[in-house]
Amino acid sequence: MNLHLYIPSLFWSDTTIPEIYQDLYLPSLEKLLAKSKIEKTDTTDFSAWLCNTFKIEKQHDWPVAPVMLQTDKNNHITVSDKDYWLRADPVHLRVEQNHIMLADSNVFELTQDEAVQYTSAINQCLNDELLIVLPFHSSRWYIRLKDRPEIHTHTLSSATCQNINNLLPTGNDSGKWRKMFNEIQMLLHDHPLNLERAARNQIVINSVWFWGGGLLPQSIQPVYSNIWSDEPFSRALADFSLTPYKRLPDNIAKWLQEYRSENWQFIVLDSLLNHDKYNNALAWRENLKKLEKTWFTPLYTALKNNQIKTLKISTTNENAALNFIVTSNSLWKFWATIKPLSFYADSQT
């Protein structure tokens, strides 16, 4: 088996806190990294990295919306490859001093009924039959346009927990979209549903984030023989590339016995990502220790036993994108010194 493992935020993004790695016992991960060939790449954003990996070309933006739509629409709508699709996802904005910080749906729950109520109010406010917000998923909303807007946007993953002042749409049509952005905020400010959510101590939905626009790409060739993930966009990419998809296995040792294909398998482990983005250091450390036990240790053993021929570990965060490529033969590099995780984290800068 050849295995490509994508682990966003394997390294903590804030490089000013080296003590976050203190006393982390990760012997299997450290051995795998020490025996690896290390590559640096350019694409650090989560959504953009997945598009790149699956050979989805960037248009004005990374076309996440039309790809994800193929999974979310559930035959509720007929889609033309000439339609331009844009995401307009529900978010929470919070003012901090001179900054406006964005939080995504990873920190709030939203029912489908609430999504319908919010989008109905937005559509009534915008009053434009050519621009309708469609809640095909409770936390993933879409806009279908006949013509491509002249805007560049930033992915939701790159805007989350960031000051959005410099991340709003740019381009010839940006004025129209920034105006809509402000109108929707004013509408939602005292929307009855938000008053109800506030009374229940739930995070209110006070804006949407425009991003991920594009035309549906032409069909792509499968990159992997199987994809294993609990993350929505990687599942959509599996559907779009006609690649068999399954949820993450519970028992890695059993999974290694069952799947002996010589082809490349792709696994996404994204449990560290949001802890990094939302600066939850304790949860990030605990999840990393869990990955050591449930993933890195059995994978290291599988490499030693030649169950895996090549293991490629890819990671991204706000600073860098790195690949660690290790083969079963590489484990015999006795001269490769085992180093702590902090050593590799330092290479981000």
Mean pLDDT, range 5-22, rounded to an integer:
95
Mean pLDDT, range 277-294, rounded to an integer:
97
Nearest-angstrom CA–CA distance, 144 and 134: 8
User: 24-63, pLDDT tens digit by residue?
Assistant: 999 999 999 999 999 999 999 999 999 999 999 999 999 9
Among 153, 135, 149, 140, CA closest to 45 = 153
User: 60-89, pLDDT tens digit by residue?
Assistant: 999 999 999 999 987 767 777 789 999 999
User: Which residue do the tokens 């032409």 mark?
Assistant: 218
Residue 221: CB atoms within 10 A of its CB come to 9
User: What residue spans define the domains of the chain?
Assistant: 2-56+220-346, 64-215
pLDDT of residue 77: 78
Contact status, residue 90 vs residue 115, Cβ threshold 8 Å: yes
Nearest-angstrom CA–CA distance, 314 and 293: 19
Mean pLDDT, range 222-249, rounded to an integer:
96
Nearest-angstrom CA–CA distance, 349 and 257: 39
Question: Residue 23 above 90 pLDDT?
Answer: yes
User: 93-113, pLDDT tens digit by residue?
Assistant: 999 888 999 999 999 999 999
Q: What are phi and psi of 268, to 5 degrees?
A: -110, 120
User: 129-148, pLDDT tens digit by residue?
Assistant: 889 999 999 999 999 998 99
Tokens of 165: 């002042």
User: 328-349, pLDDT tens digit by residue?
Assistant: 999 888 777 899 999 988 776 6
pLDDT of residue 348: 66
User: What CATH number should be reported for the domain whose range is 2-56+220-346?
Assistant: 3.40.720.10
Contact status, residue 9 vs residue 276, Cβ threshold 8 Å: yes
Residue 147: CB atoms within 10 A of its CB come to 10
Contact status, residue 90 vs residue 141, Cβ threshold 8 Å: yes
Tokens of 211: 């991003």
Q: Which residues contact 61 (CB under 8 A, 6 or more apart)?
A: 152, 153, 155, 211, 212, 213, 214
User: Which residue do the tokens 């790159």 mark?
Assistant: 158
pLDDT of residue 349: 60
